[in-house]
DNA sequence: TTGTAGGCGTTATCAA
DNA sequence: TTGATAACGCCTACAA
């Protein structure tokens, strides 16, 4: 008799707070209080115990959907990724979820890059955000930001809570950039260049990532600055069209065309090292170098960025700048949750330290000792 | 004046259905109907147009949390993965989300394997399911099933809709197994063995996965049966303790100890090929073979399973059984959604065909031509 | 320390 | 074709 007779949903929903209240002969608001850690102390300890055992016995589970309607808080945030299939994102996502989990939040996920990459790529993201908003997510964690992302700005302007991960947007005139958790890309490039220079390299080129990503831009600038600290100049910079093996291969071909490689140690002016903006680009470069019969690291040293899985299984194992992906996701989640709790202006930005994983793809420059 | 004065939630929620109704001078039920494709036809076409433009102008978004409370349907399903960081799962998850997206559903995700793998591994899964149930998910897609999973059975028995992916549970006495979408592991092993036998191999060993996973079991059985079709017997089977590089390395060492490898083509009885239950195990085996100075594929051919990313970048590139991970996820999502729509007993199980990706880690058996 | 009343935004049922 | 009314299950004032 506990259940109202007019249930509609198809789901076999369990007992409600009313059932519990009746069962115990108390009012439902008492139950509600008993379940709220913040107000539990108002309840008589004996009653509290009864409520808890009864809840367990009846198998009552507070209905969050109902609570969400009442409080306006869904305990849910939206997460925008380009594509979880890209090895960079799983650890980020894992970090995000672990962070959200700490406060009992869930993520609603959307992969915004369609496999067929049909025109209007942002359209998928917008549709996803629309649906997430309908589900009343409390905020967004965004890994798809462009440096100049008008749509994201307007989403933010409309009052949405947003934290960016991995990629940032540029600060605009009179307005600071969105809160973000990123890796120190400048430092990453400095580590890479320091390592190469230490090995005697002086003619170092860069395969850059797309300039509309903050990572592409920052790593490129970081590369230049790092060279300057050693009094060197770039031996060539090619901007790849994407963070992909194919784009990396194409970039490497271009680089070789403008700057013949160090086939002989005697050949002055030839390239002896390449720093790629990302591991996939590095892999593409590696393929081309193989195909050209140029040996890595004997003739050319190669460094990637991200330290994605299995890099250490390659031959040669790829030296790469390791980024704290998991940590980035974790911090982003905590940052967003803090903002949602109303924590005023808790540091709205975090920059994590990368680390160079030295492996077999880098060695002393040919001709140096 | 449209907004009620006693808003509570912190989220800047937009206008409600009431605001829209007032604005248009109609009753909210009319709005509700107008937004429901199934009952839209009841609305005058002129009014319908007015509703749509007004909704757009006011920026009204139906509140799904409220709808969920009213209908009992959250348009949300729970997804249980061991760890999104394991390269097998991203494409599965992507498939799941694309499938859910087709019907406007979202996934709530949980990674159930704690990184510190503290005791009570299932505990994380149970806690996650508990929270998902509180969020009123309509069903579950589970990639963490054990062959004998009492907890999962009881979850199912309690009325939860469940579809398994990748891993299945065993059918029990008098009860059929849970709905599932898997790969044809038997066939996968047949493809692998056929390939090796065709290359002249006759002494083939298996590095099996854990027996409590359906994949470990099925691949092992499939390996044996495939050998039988060629009148052969296993040249050795070692069960690895996990699907990991380390476990694979250990398994390979064990295998070599009991069955010295084909260091010389003359040595009769020596191993000439190994089929691993999974790519990570194969990678572990590869490391040990390298360390032992045994050449792949010249002395021993090696086959993995799953065809995870970057396998083709290794030296040698690893031959592997490719599984339709994305498709598995997609089908699992559709299966679950169909069940939720009440489609009676739409085929509750799907088995997808794997494909052998032949690469450089397999070659003619030493001594054969 | 506990109860009462009203509302959160939507959908469903019944009337009109 | 549209309107009125009553849930859905929980939370929050306020009263007792």
Pairwise pLDDT comparison (B221 vs A53), residue with the higher score: B221
Provide the 10 A C-beta neighbour count for residue B310: 21
A59-74 CB burial, b ≥16 within 10 A, e <16: ebbbbbbbbbbeebbb
Report the C-alpha gap between B128 and B137 in whole angstroms: 12
What is the structure's pLDDT at A360?
97
Strand partners, A111: A81
* CA A43 – CA A208 distance, rounded (Å): 62
Q: Per-residue confidence at B115, pLDDT binned at 50, 70, 90?
A: low
DSSP one-letter string for B135-186: TT-S-EEES---SS-HHHHHHHHTT--EEEESS----BTTBPPPPEEEE-HH
Q: Which residues of chain A have pLDDT under 50?
A: 1-10, 118-120, 265-266
- Which residues lie near nucleic chain C, judged by CB under 7 A? A 6, 8, 25-30, 33, 41-44, 47, 66, 69-70, 72; B 4, 6-8, 13, 16-18, 28-29, 32, 35-36, 60-63, 66-67, 69-71
* d(C-alpha A17, C-alpha A28), whole Å: 6
A164-194 in b/e burial notation, b at 16+ Cβ within 10 A?
bbbbbbeeeeeeebbbbbbbbbbbbbbbbbe
| Residues sharing a CB contact under 8 Å with residue B73, sequence separation 6 or more, in sequence order | A9, A10, A11, B67, B138
Cβ neighbours of residue A115 closer than 8 Å, sequence gap 6 or more:
none
Are the beta carbons of B281 and B243 closer than 8 angstroms? Answer: yes
Q: Do A11 and B75 touch (CB under 8 A)?
A: no
pLDDT tens for A103-141 read 999 999 999 987 555 444 578 899 999 999 999 999 999
Q: Average pLDDT, stretch B213-217?
A: 97
Q: Helix H segments across chain A?
A: 17-24, 28-35, 45-58, 64-71, 89-102, 121-134, 150-157, 185-198, 214-229, 245-258, 279-291, 325-340
Q: What distance in Å separates the CA atoms of residue B192 and residue B321, rounded to the nearest whole number? A: 7
Beta-sheet strand order (sheet of B355-357):
B237-239, B204-208, B273-276, B301-306, B319-322, B355-357
Range 122-161 of A in CB contact (< 8 A) with B: 130-136, 138, 159
Confidence class of residue B174 from pLDDT cuts 50, 70 and 90? low
Q: How far is CA B367 from CA A316, B201, B235, B268, in A?
A: 30, 10, 17, 10
Q: Which residues pair with A304 in a beta bridge?
A: A320
φ, ψ of residue B260 to 5 degrees: the values are: -50, 140
What whole-number distance in Å separates Cα of residue B302 and Cα of residue B316?
10
Of B182, B135, B163, the C-alpha closest to B79 is: B163
Residue A323 contacts residue A354 (beta carbons within 8 Å):
yes
CB contact under 8 A, A109 and B104: no
H or E segment to which residue A77 belongs: strand A76-81
Tell me the pLDDT of chain B averaged across its residues.
90
Cα gap B360→B350, rounded to integer Å: 32
- Give residues 199 to 238 of B whose Cβ lies within 8 Å of A: none
- Give the Cα separation of B283 and B61 in Å (integer): 50
CB contact under 8 A, B64 and A134: yes
User: How sure is the predictor about B9, in pLDDT bands with cuts at 50, 70 and 90?
Assistant: very low
Looking at the DSSP bridge assignments, the partners of residue A349 are: A180
Q: Is the pLDDT of residue B270 over 60?
A: yes
Q: What is the DSSP letter of A3?
A: S
C-alpha span between B306 and B147 (Å, rounded):
19
Asked if residues B108 and B142 have their Cβ atoms less than 8 Å apart, the reply is no
Supply φ then ψ for residue A301, to 5 degrees. -90, 150
Phi, then psi, of A102 in degrees rounded to 5:
-55, -30
Q: What is chain B's Cα-based Rg?
A: 27
> Residue B341's pLDDT is what?
87
Judged by DSSP in three states, B310 sits in coil
Tell me if the bond preceding A314 is cis, omega within 30° of 0: no
Q: Which two tokens stand for residue B99?
A: 């499938």
Could you tell me what percent of chain B has a pLDDT over 70?
89
Specify the pLDDT at position A369: 60
* Residues in CB range of A165: below 8 A, 6 or more apart: A92, A96, A141, A142, A143, A180, A181, A182, A328, A329, A332
Give the nucleotide at minimum CA-to-C1' distance from B134. D9
Higher pLDDT, B28 or B194: B194
Instruction: Go through chain A and tell me how many residues it has.
Output: 369
Residue of B68, B106, B131 with shortest CB distance to A65:
B68
Per-residue pLDDT reduced to its tens digit, B238-260: 999 999 999 999 999 999 998 76
Flag if A73 and B310 touch (Cβ within 8 Å).
no
Does residue B301 register a pLDDT over 80? yes
Phi, psi of B272 (to 5 degrees): -125, -10
Confidence band for B8, pLDDT divided at 50, 70 and 90: very low
Say yes or no to pLDDT of B367 above 90. Answer: no
| pLDDT higher than 70, residue B298 | yes
Question: What confidence tier does B323 reach under pLDDT thresholds 50, 70, 90?
Answer: very high
* Closest nucleotide relative to residue B6's CA, C1' based: C7
Contact B281, B346 (CB under 8 A): no
pLDDT in tens, B10-60: 456 689 998 898 889 899 899 999 998 888 888 888 888 899 899 999 989
Q: How far is A244 from chain B (nearest CA, A)?
A: 12
Residue A316 · residue A299 · CB < 8 Å: no
- Hey, is the C-beta of A295 within 8 angstroms of any chain B C-beta? no
In terms of DSSP bridges, do strands B301-306 and B349-352 run parallel, antiparallel, or are they unpaired?
unpaired
Decide: B354 and B316 in contact? Cβ < 8 Å: no
Contact assignment for B8 to A108 by CB distance below 8 Å: no
């Amino acid at each position: 008799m506990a259940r109202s007779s007019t249930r509609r949903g198809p789901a076999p929903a369990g007992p409600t707070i009313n059932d519990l209240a009746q069962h115990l002969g108390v009012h439902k608001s008492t139950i509600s209080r008993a379940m709220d850690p913040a107000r539990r102390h108002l309840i008589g300890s004996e009653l509290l115990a009864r409520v808890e055992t009864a809840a367990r016995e009846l198998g009552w589970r507070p209905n969050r959907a109902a609570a969400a309607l009442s409080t306006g808080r869904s305990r849910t945030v939206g997460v925008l990724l380009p594509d979880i299939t890209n090895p960079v994102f799983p650890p980020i996502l894992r970090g995000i979820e672990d962070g959200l989990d700490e406060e009992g939040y869930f993520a609603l996920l959307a992969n915004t890059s369609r496999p067929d990459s049909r025109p209007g790529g942002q359209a998928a993201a917008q549709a996803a955000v629309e649906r997430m908003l309908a589900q009343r997510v409390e905020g967004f964690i965004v890994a798809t930001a462009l440096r100049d992302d008008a749509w994201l700005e307007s989403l933010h302007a409309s009052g949405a809570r947003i934290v960016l991960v991995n990629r940032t947007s540029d600060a605009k005139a009179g307005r600071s950039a969105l809160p973000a958790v990123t890796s120190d890309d400048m430092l990453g490039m400095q580590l890479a260049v320091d390592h190469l220079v230490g090995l005697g390299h002086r003619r170092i080129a860069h395969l850059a990532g797309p300039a509309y990503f903050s990572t592409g831009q920052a790593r490129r600038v970081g590369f230049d600055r790092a060279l300057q600290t050693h009094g060197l100049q770039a031996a060539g910079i090619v901007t790849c069209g994407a963070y992909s093996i194919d784009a990396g291969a194409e970039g490497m071909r271009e680089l070789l065309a403008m700057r013949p490689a160090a086939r002989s140690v005697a050949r002055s002016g030839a390239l002896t090292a390449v720093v790629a903006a990302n591991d996939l680009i590095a892999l593409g470069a590696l393929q081309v170098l193989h195909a050209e019969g140029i040996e890595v690291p004997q003739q050319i040293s190669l460094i990637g960025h991200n330290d994605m899985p299995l890099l250490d299984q390659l031959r040669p194992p790829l030296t790469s700048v390791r980024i704290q992906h998991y940590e980035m996701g974790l911090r982003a989640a905590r940052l967003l949750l803090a903002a949602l709790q109303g924590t005023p202006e808790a540091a709205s930005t975090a920059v994590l330290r990368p680390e160079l994983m030295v492996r077999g793809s880098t060695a002393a420059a040919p001709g140096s000792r």
